[in-house]
Structure 1
């Protein structure tokens, strides 16, 4: 696919004022194809959805339904073959890689299936790393790290390294790290897949607390039917298409 053209400046985007009403993210007519064995394989077949601030959205569906591909498009990790992905009124689908990197570092948080923590750093140091990468002033680090670890219930584990933490605790450190730079949107790919049902419920409770405290949007993928009722909106994905439940 040819590199999309854009007239946007490569300089860091200026913060936008908060908007009254309207979705945080809009996806319109999105299709995504990959080349395999000399043939185009269409993974997403015309997706329309919106994500609002202060809400927990879930993408549900079987493996291969397109959940992770869609999540990557929402986070600017990939671009659609056709269609539009707009974040806070701005066209992510047409931006350069450099500009997308800036937006991801400043305005979007990511949680992956693996916890992605640096093993030699403590919980607080792993969270602090996110602030360094986002260019947050050093004077704000201590207070922000403390707040994020408090939000996920790990204040007393701040000095522990990942190998000293349980799987659920490591996931909560990953969440604290993902929200440290105060993103508008948190994207989580199967964040409870490696956890038992009790710990998975705990993670969802943490998400609800974060939404209330930080007023952000969270969108996650899951195949766990026990979690769906905790969402504000659930999108069912089947064969690259989406249906609102």
Structure 2
């Protein structure tokens, strides 16, 4: 197992990617701290992982609250005594409106969560990672920074800022043996996209299968990655197999776009 006895913290736990990341890390032997705003989702994920033999701590956390981020790190240290891996998966999607009609106040939530919130969590955990002799920070970004989409302005701006901050952190933290990398998914064939396709199919008189096929044809592999497939990229960056890699981004989009 690639992560045996390591302590991994994952934010943004829900029914999709966050859960898949936690499960993938657990399969590789990691002890887990799962964080998110919805306690019921955290407990559901934890119960599933404990059933598979993992040690899991649930910490309800709103990453836009600096004190909650510090409490997450303090609770992790109290329970496990260390942290080796931090996966920043929590995000705010923002609103999707044409720029001319957008109230720019709607840009604040994605910027505050996706950039400042992520940095608050990271800042809280850097001392723990240093005490552990180094480790890995993995940022979950978005293909929107590679392939601009109309109406995604606030969300795209926040994710572009996150990428710049990630590369800066890689330079600053490398001296402590802390690697900082990004996984960049495109469309994720998980609960949210399935729900969206179902609503769109009903509205347009199409079908979920037809919408999937049309979207998948935009990728080189004719395939939309699942949460589990994206989680494997996170495991790679979390593990010692990426020990010589920092400041980099790995696009996991089936060849939807190239960088």
Q: Normalising by the residue count of structure 1, what TM-score does the alignment of the two structures yield?
A: 0.33
Structure with higher RCO (Cα < 8 A, 6+ apart): 1
Which one has the bigger helix percentage?
2
Using structure 2 for the length normalisation, give the TM-score. Answer: 0.31
